[in-house]
């Protein structure tokens, strides 16, 4: 899908609908994934972090990926899917 709009309609009638272009929505999701990858790289290459701290931070970033797996239904290619903790 390359064109279109997501319309978020709130249950509260006092709130107005929010329209988000599909391209913007996917871009933002992919950017979150890319930013998590950068954080992982910085953790891995850090000379200041102790090993246990690196392990803890890597587990945390993996759990973030796990939270993002909800969005996998939106991606046609499996290679674009988020991978959670149980899949590595």
pLDDT of the residue at 7: 93
The SS3 assignment for 21 reads strand
- Domain assignment of residue 18, yes or no: no
- Domain assignment of residue 9, yes or no: no
Read off φ and ψ for residue 75, nearest 5 degrees.
-105, 125
- Domain assignment of residue 83, yes or no: yes
- Domain assignment of residue 76, yes or no: yes
- Considering only CA atoms, which of 77, 79, 81, 70 is closest in space to residue 1? 77
Among 12-21, 31-40, 45-54, 72-81, the minimum mean pLDDT is found in 72-81
Domain residues for the domain of 49 are 29-87
- Domain assignment of residue 69, yes or no: yes
The domain tally of the chain equals 1
Q: Average pLDDT over the chain, rounded to whole?
A: 87
Residue 25 has pLDDT above 90, yes or no: no
63 pLDDT tier (thresholds 50, 70, 90): confident
Q: Distance between CA atoms of 9 and 38, rounded to whole angstroms? A: 34
Total-model pTM = 0.69
Choose the most confident range, by mean pLDDT, from 14-18, 30-34, 65-69, 75-79.
14-18
Average pLDDT over residues 54-79: 86
- Domain assignment of residue 71, yes or no: yes
- Domain assignment of residue 24, yes or no: no
- Domain assignment of residue 66, yes or no: yes
Read off φ and ψ for residue 7, nearest 5 degrees.
-115, 120
């Amino acid at each position: 899908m390359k064109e279109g709009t997501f319309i978020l309609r709130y249950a509260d009638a006092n709130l107005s609908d929010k329209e988000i272009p599909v391209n913007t929505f996917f871009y933002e999701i992919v950017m979150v994934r890319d930013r998590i990858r950068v954080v992982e790289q910085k953790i891995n290459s850090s000379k200041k972090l102790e090993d246990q701290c690196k392990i803890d931070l890597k587990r945390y970033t993996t759990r973030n990926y796990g939270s993002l797996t909800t969005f996998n239904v939106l991606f046609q290619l499996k290679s674009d899917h988020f991978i959670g903790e149980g899949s590595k």
